[in-house]
Structure 1
């Protein structure tokens, strides 16, 4: 870390995606009244009170994962001696060396944040209620019930944020991020149990021609309609997602090679027979069934090669990676 950043008039801290401190400058260490080496490897929440941890979980993590950045977040850090240090935080989530990191700039605040005043006021009111009469105790119970309701509402908000972060906004299917997480989970389950699963990649044939002929709005409607068709033909445990552009993917748990090809043909035939808004379309499909040697990259690569074979072989067809034609 160069001397300018190390002694800058603001704190700098770099976190892993899980919140582990990777590096800090001297200014940040000075804010917390500790040596820099004491912070490395600790979770950032270890320097927070319980209340601030809740605030951090409620706002920082959902926003940084949803939008990739957080601006002007006010909360407090806690020094090793227990002193509260009010700060203003800006953060950005980005990849460095193929690993997601969160870089944050931390500025000391000279006045307490409004939420701290609210918490102090609430604490004071609770203390008064505990010392009051039976009527006040009833009021306290009402406040606790309201608090529980707020907690439930907060959980619902977080669930909605998480759903937004894993959903493709155009088609309503799961997005690429959710698909990749599900693919890793299915690979781990396969290694543990040996139960096979399969992967399908769908691509609309001549989709550029549809956009060029009928316009992008018509192309978007075609994507939405195909997404609905794929979802309607899928089982409850299947993961159907938009991979990007006109490509879709599906993870088929507990599905071997032969059943996978039957499923792929059902998808292909339904698309070919459907009544579409603009014109008749077809889809090409590449399939791969997990093997002991597979990683996330290799099973995707095998399914993609099978998709290429379907395209190269005339489109409107399904190809399994284990049945590639000669030279495919």
Structure 2
């Protein structure tokens, strides 16, 4: 045997056509822990576990006889300590010295198997990690959807609460708080752009008599009916509010003094001509004021209030503008 083959980094052995070992290199002997004398002349089956013997008879020898070679046959051999060592075997038959010889090259598979096991383990862990990631992403998506739903619900609740905070419970009109906010906006708009606006304060004439005569439930019904009349008669841009008790306000954007007085006069007629089934008839007194330079949120309310009381002193069921009494 060539010296380089004897110490090659792969195992080498030759067997005759019956399977008896003819040559073996030192690398293979070292792997199995045998001396050369212990293997030369022994049948290859003496190194094989039972399963490997079956492979040799059912696959190895038939392929050698038919094709003259075997490639990448996975097989195990027993070492001197009777432990099974996995190998990858390539074999080729040839004529040598007048007889058929089968040369075999083997490479240990332990490290490769360890690598494959490690790769499979790593692959499995990666797949599990991907599954966990997908599950986590799905869960995160679900949580985000739930958060969005809760946010939408909260926004709806907040919107509803804001609406309630701006609405008079009895009449359904805007309340004094909402009116005050819109009045501030109109004052700011006037200061910035000079946009005219006017204000009505509407008070039911002799409302105490309605409550005393017909009861507070009827009084509440009258307030609701009047709220409907005010909303029906005023314009879409006007802001009608219940100011408190039997007092109502109407904020009139982009409205001059003359336009406000005309609207208030018409409102007097609309209330008087409305059908008041429970009490027969009803009238209101209205104070009108128009914002001018030097006015404030407080002063325009005071002016409208002064005009209202002037209307009551002058016989009620009428509208007076602050300019008319000043």
Shift of 1:130: 9.9
Query: Secondary structure of 1:315's partner?
Result: coil
Larger CA Rg, structure 1 vs 2: 2
Q: How does 1:33-182 map to 2 (within 5 A)?
A: 132-182=132-182
In 1, Cα distance between the equivalents of 2:201 and 2:322?
11
Query: In structure 2, what is the equivalent of residue 267 of structure 1?
Result: 267
Shift of 1:142: 2.1
Query: In structure 1, what is the equivalent of residue 289 of structure 2?
Result: 288
Query: In structure 1, what is the equivalent of residue 307 of structure 2?
Result: 306
Contact 1:284 1:310 in 2 (8 A): yes
Query: In structure 2, what is the equivalent of residue 254 of structure 1?
Result: 254
In 2, Cα distance between the equivalents of 1:260 and 1:132?
70
Gaps of 5+ in 2: 1-128
In 1, Cα distance between the equivalents of 2:259 and 2:174?
23
In 1, Cα distance between the equivalents of 2:294 and 2:136?
66
TM-score computed with the length of structure 2 as normaliser: 0.58
Query: Secondary structure of 1:132's partner?
Result: helix
Query: In structure 2, what is the equivalent of residue 316 of structure 1?
Result: 317
Deviations 1:172-215 (A, max 9, x none): 11111111111111111111110100000001111111111101
Query: In structure 2, what is the equivalent of residue 237 of structure 1?
Result: 237
In 1, Cα distance between the equivalents of 2:131 and 2:203?
68
Gaps of 5+ in 1: 1-128
**Which is worse superposed, 132-141 or 217-226?**
132-141
In 2, Cα distance between the equivalents of 1:211 and 1:323?
32
Deviations 1:206-252 (A, max 9, x none): 11111111011000100011011111222222111111111000100
Query: Secondary structure of 1:310's partner?
Result: helix
Q: 1:197 to 1:131 in 2, by over 3 A?
A: farther
Q: 1:238 to 1:131 in 2, by over 3 A?
A: farther
Q: 1:148 to 1:154 in 2, by over 3 A?
A: same
In 2, Cα distance between the equivalents of 1:164 and 1:131?
48
Shift of 1:169: 0.9
In 2, Cα distance between the equivalents of 1:147 and 1:242?
38
Contact 1:203 1:283 in 2 (8 A): yes
In 2, Cα distance between the equivalents of 1:130 and 1:213?
80
In 1, Cα distance between the equivalents of 2:209 and 2:280?
11
Deviations 1:248-272 (A, max 9, x none): 0010000001111111112111100
How many residue pairs get aligned? The number is: 197
- Runs of 4+ deviating beyond 4 Å: none
In 2, Cα distance between the equivalents of 1:299 and 1:131?
70
In 1, Cα distance between the equivalents of 2:136 and 2:206?
71
Q: What root-mean-square deviation, in Å, do the aligned CA atoms of Structure 1 and Structure 2 show?
A: 1.7
Shift of 1:131: 8.5
